[in-house]
Amino acid sequence: MGEFAHRTEATVKDGDVLFHVETDGVTRQFEISSDVLQEHFGATDTSGSELLRAFEHAREEIEAVARKVKANPTEGPIELGTGDFNEGLA
């Protein structure tokens, strides 16, 4: 597991990556779909190792998007989908 995946406690569950990001002293859980990791960040399949590789590679963009949406109230993980990573939004 890479440094980013380790630091964010990233795990693969049901084809998605769950992880935590802390900003301003608040830690929130996020979920990024395998679709995002394949379409935007080059994951070649949905195996856990490949999803985590793509997650690690996309560290800066994923963190930037997570920090922007962290304030959204929600129960459970905040889902990050393909629309969150369209050009100009990340």
Distance CA 77, CA 43 (A): 22
pTM, two decimal places: 0.87
Q: What is the pLDDT of residues 13-58, one digit of tens each?
A: 999 999 999 877 888 899 999 999 999 999 999 999 999 999 999 9
Domains in the chain, number: 1
- What mean pLDDT comes out for the span 69-84? 80
- What mean pLDDT comes out for the span 80-89? 76
> HSE on the CB side for 89, CA within 13 Å?
12
Which pLDDT does position 11 carry in this prediction? Answer: 96
Domain of residue 34: give its range.
Answer: 3-85
Contact at 8 Å (CB) between 29 and 19?
A: yes
Which pLDDT does position 86 carry in this prediction? Answer: 76
Which pLDDT does position 90 carry in this prediction? Answer: 42
Residue 90 lies in a domain: no
Residue 56 lies in a domain: yes
Residue 73 lies in a domain: yes
Virtual torsion, Cα 49, 50, 55, 57, nearest 10 deg: 110
Q: Give the CATH number, domain containing residue 26.
A: 3.30.160.140
Residue 22 lies in a domain: yes
